[in-house]
Amino acid sequence: MSVSLGTVAAQVGVTEVGGEAAPEAALRAEGLVKRFGAAVALAGVSFEVAPGEVFGLAGANGAGKTTLLKVLAGLCRPDQGWAEVAGADVTTEPGRVRQLVGYMPDRFGVYDSMTAAEYLSFYASCYRLPRPRAQRAVTDLLALMGISAKRDEPLNALSQGMKQRLCLARALVHDPEVLLLDEPAAGLDPRARAELRELIAALGEMGKAVVISSQILAELAEVSTSIGILHEGAMVAYGNAEQLLAGSEGLEELFLSLTEPEEQEAPIGEPAGTGEDEEGAATK
């Protein structure tokens, strides 16, 4: 499937961001902190994403990527800091945020007894789409994701890759201004991943803001116009992709250079991990 900007517009019915004046940033976060007991998941994260920007979020397991996306989707309340989506505060206006955001989690459940079409229709009704628009969206999204032939099959008969495509279609069903995609390429074969990159790039060209997390760093760098690297809950790098990767052999090299633990070298002849303070006492 070759996905072009015109194809996306015609098939999905997504609208270009324009007409009325849009906020300077489609998404903005400032000083986000989130704790789970003694564990700090987010440690003062700040960044912003403009309309039409594809923001690639890189980080190891446990770095805070999923927590950050949940906060931005209005599903997880920050302990400190604030964030807004298209001018809507994620803490005080979570209902409005959910209308503006299309969120695709890294793990998602499906109702096995439903068919693919019923699944999308159900979510269209959750967003209160008028019936004619909902029916058109279901048909167009199934076609766009290449699973029209599975329209009337129960979800337990679909492969993991097909379920992944269906979940992406669910995130698009209400034509959101901002897309939050957590590991959307998981379970997809190489061809499907290439098609996904084309779709994401096309949505960005239309003015949609897209935040995409992935551990496939080479593909993340290829699709992203800007990049952020999370490490232990902190944003250790953030900026324009081309400028950020200048002088580096790629995102993987940059990621490793910023996140690898520093090795402490002991002086020659002295056991590692010990030393003396000014008073001559051993320090731990």
CB 211 within 8 A of CB 178: yes
Does 137 fall in a domain?
no
Does 85 fall in a domain?
yes
Does 32 fall in a domain?
yes
Which token pair is 129?
Answer: 């789409």
pLDDT value at residue 15 = 46
CB 233 within 8 A of CB 240: no
Burial of 103 per CB tally in 10 Å (0-12, 13-18, 19+): buried
Residue 39 has pLDDT above 90, yes or no: yes
**Pairing between β-strand 80-85 and β-strand 27-36 as defined by DSSP bridges:** antiparallel
Tens of pLDDT, residue by residue over 170-205, are 999 999 999 999 998 877 788 888 888 888 888 888
Query: Given pLDDT bands bounded at 50, 70 and 90, which one contains residue 144?
Result: confident
Average pLDDT, the chain: 83
Average pLDDT over residues 63-92: 94
pTM of the model: 0.81
Tens of pLDDT, residue by residue over 235-254, are 999 999 988 888 778 898 88
Does 196 fall in a domain?
yes
Does 243 fall in a domain?
yes
CB 165 within 8 A of CB 12: no
Does 124 fall in a domain?
no
Does 86 fall in a domain?
yes
Domain that holds residue 206: 5-109+176-260
DSSP 125-154: HHTT--HHHHHHHHHHHHHHTT-GGGTTSB
CB 85 within 8 A of CB 27: yes
User: What is the percent of the chain where pLDDT is above 70?
Assistant: 83
Question: What's the number of domains the chain is made of?
Answer: 1
Whose tokens are 């993340």? That residue is: 220
* CATH (domain of 187): 3.40.50.300
Does 144 fall in a domain?
no
Residue 107 has pLDDT above 50, yes or no: yes
